[in-house]
Amino acid sequence: MINKKTELCISMAKQAGNFGCSIHNAAFKKMKLNFIYKSFSVDESSLKQAVEGIRALGIRGAGVTMPHKVDVLRYVDEHSEEVSAIGAANTIVNNSGTLKAYNTDCYSAYAALSRYVDHDNVHILGDGGYSKAVQYSAKKLFGSVNVITRQNWGSIDNIREGVIFNCTPVENINVNKDVVFIDCLINTRSGQELSLLQASKQFKLYTGFEFPFGYIRENFDQILEDNDPNKER
């Protein structure tokens, strides 16, 4: 039931996606919370107005995806500790008109990379807003990281061991079979797991409740299928 007390959470991306809508709304329903989640396409030129809309309309929270994770910091009131260190945010929480930026990407990156602390080297592809969050967590775990950008992209072919974490929109990257490859893209299993992890932190920030991981993981494929906007009804 949607009524005047329903809390709205949104996401802002260059091109609106459906993953966050599916996962957050399923979690809200499971926890019987009066919340809904809707994604929006937001161009760089209208980012300021979009953030002002969050404040003006009393929207509870917003996920922020590429390419807005750095620029959005100009339009909020407060930065969390990790946002100040990283210089990028992926989450905004509206506390009675005060907008605070958080970064839950660094949490998901830390959780993913902590499984491979026995490896000697980590290579991060890209240096944008998402990459900065991954670098932040990787340095906590490994001390130092190797960042690969367009200028030295060809060096990927020479990596024979360690971990490669793709923080770019580039698909179908070929790596050596002995390398651990973590891909942030939402159409990959690792990307979906990263998205679930960061969404769980967003959920807690928005609602104050723990994310229903067990339920979401158990019903993951069905949730995505049921909320596929291209599925015939």
The catalytic residue positions are: 69
Whether 181 and 173 have beta carbons less than 8 Å apart is answered as: yes
**Pairing state between β 61-64 and 91-95:** antiparallel
Buried b (16+ CB within 10 A) or exposed e, 156-185: beebeebbbbbbbeeeeeebeeebbbbbbb
Pairwise CA distance, residues 183 & 98, whole Å: 34
